[in-house]
Structure 1
C-alpha cells in the first residue's frame, strides 16, 4: 500500500504578520483535509520568522512569534540569522521555552561546544504508516557574529555530513531544513545525494515547482509570507519514494481569514503596548531630514562615535524614518524611528584608506538610492552624516583636505572609523569589506545607542 506525505513550509516571514492570519487559516484547512484522508502532514518553518523591525517582535523579543507558530500547529522549525544574531544570548537561550514544536539546528553550540538544550541536530519523525523521516536543520554560517554573542557555530556542511552519518539506516528518507541560501542548497544536493528534499530559505528564492538537482528536490517560498510551500511525497509499500513534487500557494489568492485586518492591528497594538517605557523627555522636537543637514541624524552619529570610542564616524540619514516629537519619548518611538537590526561596527584603516572611503561616501547619487536588505528596514539611503570628519574646500568647491577631529588626515596614521554594520557588506565600500580589522558591537542596535544618548543628555 502506498503512502502520501505532505510537507507545508514557510520561510523568511521576517515578522510580516499581514499575511499570517491567512497562512494560519489555510494550514488549518489543509491539516483537516489530509487528516480526513489519512495522509501525513508536517508543518515546518525554515527560519527568520523573527524580525525585530515589528513592534510585536521587539516588544516580546521574539516570544510572540513562537506563540504564533504554536497556535498554527507547526511541528519543526530551524533558526535563521535573525533569530541567531539579532537577539542577545540570554534571549535566544530562552526564546523557545514555551515552544510546542521541535527546533532543529545542528550546527549551533554554546562556547563550551555543547549544543543548547532547546536545539536538536535532527529528529526522526515516524508516520502513522511507520515511515521514518529524518529531519535535519542547519543555519547560515555567520560564525563571527555568533561568537560575539557567546555561541559557537560549526561549518554547516561539516555538520551535515556528521549528522547524515548519525542517521544512517535510521530513516527511509531525509529532509533538510536549510537556512543557507539557494547556492549552498545546490551544493548540498550535489555533495549529499542521500538528501531527498531541501526546504530552503535565507536568499528569499522562489521555486514554484521546486528544482531537481540530482536526487534532491530543492524548495523555496520567497519571503514575508507571500507564499506557502507544499511538497507532496508518495512512497510505495517498501517506504521507497516513487514520486515527489513541489508547489507554492500565493497568499494573495488564498481565502481570507476571519477578521484578518483586525488581527493584524491587534498584534501591532500589543507590541506597541510592550514598548511604552519612557526613556527621555524632550523640551523641543528633534527634526529629521534625509536630504538636508538635520539634528536627529547628527545626534545618532555622535552617539555612534562616542559609544564605540572611535576617532570618527559616518552614517546615512535614511536610517532614521521619523523625527522625535516634543515631550516623552518611549521605546516604541525610538523603535519606530530606527527599526533596523543593524549593529555598530568599528573598522581600522590607515589614512590613505580612510580618505578613499570618505570620498566614496560623498557620491552625489547615494542619497536617492533605494536600499533593501543588509538589515536596512527603511526605503532610501539619505545623505551622509559625519562626526569627527570635516572638509576643507578650494574656491571651486573641490575637497582640498580631510580633517579628523580638527587635524589634517595623515596617510600613514591608523584611524578607527565607526559605521553601521551594513557598510561592511555588499558593494558599498570595497576597502572596508576587504579589511580584517573590524569589530562588531553586539547585541546593541543603532537605536540602542540613540536611546542611550537621549537618556544621558
Structure 2
C-alpha cells in the first residue's frame, strides 16, 4: 500500500497576512510526511499574486515567487492575475528564479511554442516508483492574452491533446485547474481518467472535496483562508483505491513567532520600493464615493484623453482616498489598487442614452462589488466627461445627443464583462487598452498636469 499527500493553495491574491501561518503549516506537514517516508507534493493553482499589494506591485510578483520557493512548492499553474495583469515582459520574467515547475498546457508564445518557463505537464515519481502526472490549465481569456502578446488556446481541447500521453506515462493524473467550478465538474464527468482536479478561479471551496464520478475535486476558497489537503491511496499494483480531501482553516492554525512583524515587513518592503515621487499637489484631490469631486472628474477626464474618445464615464468608488501634497507611486496604488484597464466601445446615441439612464438608478452607488478586478467596496456615483444634462436632455460635447449617430465611449473594463448594462454592452465590440491600469493613467496625467515645484 502507498499513500501520496498533496497540499494545495489557490487564489491567495497577495493576501500575505495569512502567509506566515500557511508557510509554517506547510513546512511542518512536509517534514512530518518525510519523517514517515511518505511522498508529499505542494501545488498552487493560480492567482497567487495580485497587484493591489505593495510588495507584489513593487516586485512585479517576483517577491511572491520567492515565497513559493521558500515553501518548496512542487509546481504551480497561472491564474488571470498572473496572466493578464502583468505586461508581457513582466510575466515572461516572473518565474526566472522559480524553483518549481510552471504547468500551463494552454499558454503559448505568439509563434505557437511554449515559453521556456512553461511545461504542459510533468511526471513526478514517488519513492515507490508511482508515476504522478500533473497538468495545468488556465482560464480562457484569449483576447486579453492576445493583446498582451501571448496565445491562449481553448483549455478543454488542450486537455484532450495531452491526456493521451499522460495516460501512458502516469499511474495517477492530477489537473491543476484555474478554470472555475463549472468547468471542473464538466471535466470530471467527461474525463474519468483524471483522478484529482484541484480547482480555483471561482473562489469555491469543498470542506471534504467533491466526487464527480471517479474524480475527486478539491478547492481551497480564496485569500488564504484555507489550505487544502488530498490523500491518494494505492495498492501494490499502483491502482488508486481511495481518495479523500480536507481543508484546514488558516485562522485555526498556530501562529508563528513574530507573525505580525513578518506581515508588516511585506507591506513595508513594498512601500519603500514604491516611494517614488510623482508630483506635488498645490491643492488636495478629494475622494468621496457618493459625490462628484475634483478627483473623480480628473479620472474621468484622463480616461477620455488617454482613449481619445467622444466621452467617458467612471464610477467614483474606484478612488479609495484623497491625495494631497507630495504624491508617490505608492500613494497612487493606495487610492487606485484595481487591476482595471481602460476600454472603448462604440455606441449609437440611443444605446449611449440607455447606458447613461441606467447609471441614474439611485441605489446603484451603494451597490457593493466583489470581483471584476474591483478592489474597493461600493460602486459610487457615476462621473461623466463630455456628457452633461439639461433637464431631461443629454448633451454630448455641447450638442444634443443624436440617437442615430455613433459615439466612442471610454469606461473601466469592469463594466464590459456582462454584469452591468446587460441590454447594450455584451453585444458590442470592446477595445481594451492593456497593460495600463487606471492608476497608470492617473500617473501620466499628474506628471503632465502638475509640474514639479522647484
TM range (shorter): over 0.9
1:31 is aligned to 30
CA contact (8 A) 1:278 1:331 kept: yes
**Equivalent in the alignment of 2:452:** none
CA RMSD of aligned residues (A): 0.8
Matched-pair contact (CA < 8 Å) for 1:6–1:233 = yes
Alignment of 1:142-181 (within 5 A): 142-181=141-180
Report the CA distance between 1:28 and its aligned residue.
0.7
Q: Structure 2 length as normaliser, TM-score?
A: 0.98
Correspondences of 1:311-322 after superposition (within 5 Å): 311-322=310-321
Which residue is equivalent to 2:406? 414
CA contact (8 A) 2:226 2:248 kept: yes
> In structure 1, what is the Cα distance between the partners aligned to 2:366 and 2:22?
35
Match of 1:84 in 2: 83
The alpha carbon displacement at 1:49 in A equals 0.2
Segments of 5+ residues of structure 2 without an aligned counterpart are 450-454
Alpha-carbon shift at residue 433 of structure 1 (Å): 3.4
Determine the C-alpha separation between the residues in 2 that align with 1:363 and 1:59.
38
Note the 1:27-426 alignment, pairs <5 A: 27-326=26-325, 328-393=326-391, 399=392, 401-426=393-418
Q: How many angstroms apart in 1 are the aligned matches of 2:419 and 2:170? A: 44
How many matched pairs? 449
Q: For residues 84 and 47 of structure 1, do their structure 2 counterparts lie closer, same or farther at Cα, with a shift above 3 Å needed?
A: same
Q: Is the 8 A contact 1:424 1:432 kept in 2?
A: no
- In structure 1, how many angstroms separate the alpha carbons of the residues matched to 2:179 and 2:387? 39
Kept after mapping to 2: 8 A contact 1:45/1:76: yes
Shift of 1:286: 1.2
Q: CA deviation at 1:432?
A: 4.2
Deviation at 1:426, TM superposition (A): 3.9
CA contact (8 A) 2:10 2:220 kept: yes
Following the alignment from structure 2 to structure 1, what is the Cα–Cα distance between the partners of residues 374 and 186?
Answer: 29
Could you report, residue by residue, the CA deviation over 1:208-234 in whole angstroms, capped at 9, with x for unpaired residues? 110000111011100000000000011
Q: Distance in 1 between matches of 2:182 and 2:166?
A: 25
For residues 162 and 265 of structure 1, what CA distance do their matches in structure 2 show? 45
TM-score, normalised to structure 1, is 0.97
1:263-322 per-position Cα deviation (integer Å, ceiling 9, x unaligned): 000010000111011111111211111112211111010000000001101111010000
Shift of 1:166: 2.3
SS at structure 2 position matched to 1:234: strand
SS of the residue 1:194 aligns to: coil
The correspondence for 1:431, drawn from 397, 419, 423, is 423
Q: In the TM superposition, what whole-angstrom CA distance separates every residue of 1:341-395 from its partner, at most 9, and x where no partner exists?
A: 00000011111111000110111111111111100000111111000000110xx
> Equivalents in 2 of 1:294, 1:414: separation in Å?
29
Conserved? CA contact 2:417–2:426, under 8 Å: no
Please name the residue that 1:396 is paired with: none
How far apart, in 1, do the equivalents of 2:5 and 2:167 lie? 23
Question: What is the CA–CA distance in structure 2 between the aligned matches of 1:126 and 1:381, rounded to whole Å?
Answer: 50
The 1-side partners of 2:137 and 2:291 are apart by 45
CA distance in 2, matches of 1:138, 1:105: 5
CA contact (8 A) 2:285 2:323 kept: yes
Cα distance in structure 2, aligned partners of 1:356 and 1:433 = 10
Give, in whole Å, the separation in 2 of the partners of 1:126 and 1:61. 33
